[in-house]
Amino acid sequence: MKATIYLRIASVLTLVHSALHTIGGVFGKPTPGAASVAVAAMQANEFVVFGVTRTYFQFLRGMGLAVTIFLTVEAVVFWQLGSLAKSDGRAVRPMVAAFAAAYLAMAVNSYAYFFPAPVVVETLIAVCLGLSWVSAGAQASAEGAVP
């Protein structure tokens, strides 16, 4: 397959990851019991940070939304890289390699601190990015360029 196809697949997977992260992770309701008690404690205890009153829950929600924003932007970037790969596969390889390494690191982080679903999706994204990196190199070699 061509690099463009792999990048488009990675784009769609990343957008799905963003949506599910937002629905389940950022705005999901905690289960009754210990989880809801922990969330209530995070919401109830306020403290001042750099002159602004916040709670740990606000930090958690803010960081969750930051991840949503970055995942969404990455989905757009992967789609755009797919378009660029059509004309210059060699140019996208360093960017794709950086994102592939980042997604492998995210999968390890998710394995250590979260649960299997994000590990699977992030690994699939990393695989798609890796395959696009290989395909872009093959495309550049076929066109006479040095990868």
pLDDT digits (tens, 9 = 90+) for 87-139: 999 999 999 999 999 999 999 999 999 999 999 999 999 999 999 999 998 87
Asked if residues 111 and 119 have their Cβ atoms less than 8 Å apart, the reply is: yes
Instruction: Express each pLDDT in 23-42 by its tens digit.
Output: 999 999 999 999 999 999 99
pTM of the model: 0.91
> 103: Cβ–Cβ under 8 A, 6 or more apart, which residues?
122, 123, 125, 126, 129
